[in-house]
Structure 1
């Protein structure tokens, strides 16, 4: 993971997400991305993190693993909250956080979340998976356990590596 870079602004985050549209996404692809993510996390940090990849329309779980021992049930709560944000708004949880300036109260008020506000997270780590020619989101990849910008960036880097291997983006 690239260290010491400035945190990107919302337009570049959204552009990056759109550029990572894949030519395909299968259960085997999810496994490959998940294993790669777990390895990236192990190389990045001694802190434990969760990797979760599930289909968007059915909640069908395709991959779930921890990078190291020490995960708490709270990590799975964060996974669910980040995932729900991606599914509802169609952008990464990090992008939504930047869009709202990190202000959870403003987020809850703007979208009239009321008592359900706690079901959503505007913290980095939830990223949509899009496929060329398919309307909407196909799956959601979530990482939870590191700093929110790291949770987001490690998913982006894993998707970039996968897309590069498929030849859908240039090196």
Structure 2
């Protein structure tokens, strides 16, 4: 299934528009639960072990789960690095990967990162920003670790698209009930 995904764009303008297209009116643990489960189900269907992590910029974790057995301890470390990258630069890790053509050295030099700082960030795709209307900056991040960065970006993108479709078409039975 993951091999059937199209390659993501490498255009920084297109990536920036793509990221902003998923601006939420608000973002709660309920949003994280649904998005996290969309991701988990997609990865399980593809028989693909990965770590799914959704957190706020305050570092509060809203969703954290392996998709299935087979994840490695390094995946947890990479999750932290991707989330830190998204929160600091306000873009997906794929955006930054494309901006620097995957060149970690150029990335580090461009931002004047020390060796210790460099170890805290990642240019591998799989980290995605959460924007909320009326909030300046990034509200949080959605991260996938354990699969190829290009694929991780597309899996995140497809999950967010699926979530948006669910939300747009969702009509709660409780909302349509009339109380007498």
State TM-score, norm by structure 2.
0.87
Q: Which of 33, 36, 39 does residue 35 from structure 2 map onto?
A: 33
- Please name the residue that 2:95 is paired with: 95
Distance 2:29 2:113 in 1: 33
1:6–1:32 CA distance, 2 compared to 1 (3 A) = closer
Evaluate the alpha carbon distance shift between residue 69 and residue 130 of structure 1 in structure 2; reply closer, same or farther with a 3 A threshold.
same
The corresponding residue for 1:8 is: 9
1:19 counterpart (14, 18, 21): 21
Structure 1 position 159, deviation (Å): 1.2
**SS of equivalent to 2:160:** helix
Q: Distance in 1 between matches of 2:66 and 2:3?
A: 22
Please report the RMSD computed on the Cα atoms of aligned residues, expressed in angstroms: 1.6
Q: Which runs of 5+ in 2 are unaligned?
A: 170-180
Listed as ranges, the gaps of 5+ residues in structure 1 are none
Residue 109 of structure 1 corresponds to which residue in structure 2?
Answer: 109
Match of 2:125, SS state, is coil
1:74 is the counterpart of 2:74: yes
Contact 1:82-1:120 at 8 Å conserved across structures: yes
Q: How many Å apart are 1:135 and its aligned residue? A: 1.7
Aligned match of 1:160: 161
More displaced stretch, 30-39 vs 9-18: 9-18
Q: Following the alignment from structure 1 to structure 2, what is the Cα–Cα distance between the partners of residues 6 and 164? A: 21
TM-score (norm 1): 0.91
Per-residue deviation, 1:2 = 7.8
Q: What is the aligned partner in structure 2 of residue 48 from structure 1? A: 49
Question: Could you say if the C-alpha distance between residues 88 and 16 of structure 1 is closer, same or farther in structure 2, counting changes exceeding 3 Å?
Answer: same
Large movers: runs of 4+ above 2 Å: 1-7, 164-168
1:45-73 superposed Cα distances (whole Å, 9 cap, x missing partner):
x23100000111x2011100111101111
- Report the number of matched residues: 166
Contact 2:44–2:68 (CA under 8 A) maintained in structure 1: yes
Q: Distance in 2 between matches of 1:154 and 1:4?
A: 8
